[in-house]
Amino acid sequence: MVQEGHSQLGEKRAWWSQVRFWSVAVISITLLCACFIVSSVVTYHFTYGKTSKKLSELHTIHSSLTCFSEGTMVTEKVWECCPSTWKSFGSSCYFISTEEDFWSKSEENCVRMGAHLVVINSKAEQNFIVQQLNESFSYFLGLMDPHGDGKWQWIDQTPFHANVRFWHQNEPNFSAEQCASIVFWNPGKWGWNDVFCDTKRKSICEMKRIYL
């Protein structure tokens, strides 16, 4: 009888031990699941909350955006966008004006749209831009010589290197013409020309792609 009692007591202890083990396991798994859910919710609201706020701010300037996916991870830049009426090339978006204005007013118009007058950094960029232009018009660039001393400056402080100069032959040629435009001259060539800043011309705005 004593041995039987000891046997039953051992079985009960083993049973309670298993119950405690599985109870702890279930509670631990439940807590881990809860932490994962909370973390996911916080990450979602942090990421997509910021995106929604940014989109709301952008829509005060641009009525709609054209975007495409760049990645899938939360930590990556998931979307890159341009305003729907702008052209996309490289890491920038471009807007070709339909109205003519002075250089300073043209720059102000670009700034209101979150951009600046175009800065051309390569032959490939120039080739892309001229494909969007009308040969009948001249377009202001974000390039000027503020003191008329031949020290041309880009509006965004990009260094003005000789290897990205696309002046027409014999241009620039007049120190009083302190702003630059891009214009089509025969025989069949687009190039830069120095012009008076207070003449009215069309213009090209540039902004960096918008990442969401």
Task: Single out the residue in 23, 39, 60 at which a domain terminates.
Answer: 60
Structural domain span for residue 186: 65-211
- The verdict on 171 and 71 lying in the same domain is yes
- The verdict on 78 and 172 lying in the same domain is yes
- The verdict on 53 and 77 lying in the same domain is no
- The verdict on 127 and 82 lying in the same domain is yes
pLDDT at 39: 43
Q: Which residues sit opposite 193 in a β-bridge?
A: 181
- Number of domains within the chain: 2
Task: Single out the residue in 20, 35, 60 at which a domain terminates.
Answer: 60
- The verdict on 35 and 131 lying in the same domain is no
- The verdict on 15 and 90 lying in the same domain is no
- The verdict on 77 and 182 lying in the same domain is yes
Integer Cα distance of 192 and 96 in angstroms: 16
**CB under 8 Å to 112, separation ≥6 — which residues?**
61
The pTM assigned to this predicted structure is 0.70
User: What CATH number corresponds to the domain at position 205?
Assistant: 3.10.100.10
Integer Cα distance of 133 and 152 in angstroms: 23
Taking only the tens place, the pLDDT of each residue in 60-97 is 667 678 887 765 555 555 688 899 899 999 999 999 99
- The verdict on 81 and 30 lying in the same domain is no
Integer Cα distance of 56 and 102 in angstroms: 31
- The verdict on 35 and 124 lying in the same domain is no
- The verdict on 101 and 128 lying in the same domain is yes
pLDDT at 37: 45
55 by Cβ neighbours in 10 Å (0-12 / 13-18 / 19+) ranks as middle
Strands 79-83 and 210-211: antiparallel
Taking only the tens place, the pLDDT of each residue in 22-74 is 665 566 676 565 444 434 433 334 334 445 555 555 556 676 788 877 655 55
Task: Single out the residue in 60, 76, 107 at which a domain terminates.
Answer: 60
- The verdict on 79 and 112 lying in the same domain is yes
Do residues 77 and 211 make contact, with C-beta atoms less than 8 angstroms apart? yes
- The verdict on 153 and 104 lying in the same domain is yes
Q: Picking from 2-6, 13-17, 106-110, 156-160, which range would have the lowest pLDDT averaged per residue?
A: 2-6
